[in-house]
Structure 1
Amino acid sequence: MFPRLKVCCISSVEEMRLAVRLGADAVGLVGAMPSGPGVIPDERIADIARAVPPPVMSVLLTSAQSADTIARQADAAGVSAVQIVDRVGPAVYARLRTDLPGRSLWQVVHVTGPEAIAEAERVARHVDAVLLDSGDPTLDTKALGGTGRVHDWRVSRTIRELLDIPVVLAGGLTPGNVADAVRAVGPFGLDVCSGLRTGGALDADKLAAFASAAGVQRLA
């Protein structure tokens, strides 16, 4: 089973349960980042991950680029998947396959332009899924997610058509644009954070509207 809706920036067990009840089959737990929303302490990540009901996936978002660090974070968190939000080399993926057997590996590719196509093809050989987001790792303070910006869905569509592994679309998705995004890109899954929040909290009405517009089935 691979998730078709991942609700990111989950900050509590209560938010996780709300997300799952309204259709999420994966929840994103954000570790330390150079910028962006949703960062929570490692201890809380582990607490939430322990409470996630199978078969829902718990996904650690990490900005680490060292295989040792990523493996330690994932083991301490007890998550079922790791989402690497910055660039790493092939040796890191190989080491993680050894150190994290049975864990799903996702790699974020930030769609800053057509150059993202070659990057997606490069990393797809090493991971279980590619997530297309709207950050920019070349900035002085890296933007690695949670920007609330939409990128060029034409590039995302090209990537989705080229890859043989699941492609998850992120970046500025909201209840108002997700149907257009699905039609434009045809992604396997969707990832959403800031577009579902009001005053910093996960908004049940926005999540229900998002899931409905995206065609996601509610669990309850």
Structure 2
Amino acid sequence: MERTANPRVKICCISSIEEAWIAIRCGASALGLVSQMPSGPGVISEELIAEIAACVPPPIATFLLTSSLDAQEIIQQVRRCRTNTVQICDRLESGSYQDIRDGLPGISIVQVIHVITEKSIEEAINVAPYVDAILLDSGNQSLLIKELGGTGRLHDWNLSAQIRKQVNVPIFLAGGLKPENVAIAVEQVAPFGLDLCSAVRNNGKLDENKLKLFFQQLNRALGRSEIKLLTPNS
């Protein structure tokens, strides 16, 4: 995948309509809505996910984060939550990506790859032809209690950069991103999108000042002026 000059920003672990609008006003292109997970922050009910997704205007993407391993379960979950994107945080073990496409026409499929070793590169290359994007994160599926995201940890960005160069779908970079390292992330990995959660929160709540600071540092890294903040009536 070629370098991206203008990375999108996805704010994950959105927990209310208010948080959704804070993220949108600050410049988010996508929102992450976390359903049941074995561990990690930001889990909310499917009912609340559907409520938030219904209030998000186009062209903002709404990502349902699922830990399900089964294509048919994922189809039913997305139908209940009514997001326009599904982020598969674990490996799909039953059914196929095509099953999901057939069951959810128009849905975007994002597969998470937890970057641990060079085997992660092969995993990303193998899955890329079947998905719309890959999200590189810092979890670990082999632990007794799986980590499927929200760790706040960095992984080896050299591996992420290799993946970005070797696949032909957009790459989102997640895991430990913050204002202090976003310029390095953009330069080293050049992802299509940046995904963040813990660095822009205070006691679990989305912090508008921290989010603004992140966007200021991103804009500085990209050599552009600050973006105009949006309002619900814009």
Normalised by the length of structure 2, the TM-score is 0.90
Partner of 1:124: 128
Cα displacement (A) at 1:91: 3.9
Q: 2:21 aligns with which of 17, 34, 52?
A: 17
- CA-to-partner distance for each residue in 1:104-151, whole Å, 9 max, x for gaps? 000000001111100000110110000000000011100000000000
Cα displacement (A) at 1:25: 0.9
Partner of 2:175: 171
Q: 1:159 aligns with which of 163, 185, 210?
A: 163
Structure 2 distance, partners of 1:86, 1:192, is 18
Structure 1 distance, partners of 2:109, 2:33, is 14
Cα displacement (A) at 1:179: 1.2
- May I ask how many residue pairs the two structures share in their alignment? 219
| Contact 2:7–2:191 (8 Å) recurs in 1 | no
Give structure 1 regions of 4+ aligned residues with deviation exceeding 6 angstroms: none
Identity %: 51
Amino acid at match of 2:116: T
Query: Matches of residues 19-168 of structure 1 in structure 2 within 5 Å?
Result: 19-89=23-93, 91-168=95-172
Query: Matches of residues 180-219 of structure 1 in structure 2 within 5 Å?
Result: 180-215=184-219, 217-219=227-229
- CA-to-partner distance for each residue in 1:31-73, whole Å, 9 max, x for gaps? 0000000000111000000000111011100000111110111
Amino acid at match of 2:118: P
Structure 1 distance, partners of 2:101, 2:52, is 24
Unaligned runs of 5+ in 2: 1-5, 220-225
| Contact 2:134–2:171 (8 Å) recurs in 1 | yes
Normalised by the length of structure 1, the TM-score is 0.96
| Contact 2:89–2:148 (8 Å) recurs in 1 | yes
Unaligned runs of 5+ in 1: none
The structure that has the greater radius of gyration is: 2
Amino acid at match of 2:177: L
| Contact 1:3–1:26 (8 Å) recurs in 2 | no
| Contact 2:84–2:107 (8 Å) recurs in 1 | yes
| Contact 1:90–1:126 (8 Å) recurs in 2 | no
Aligned to 1:125, the other structure's residue is in SS state helix
Structure 1 distance, partners of 2:109, 2:7, is 13
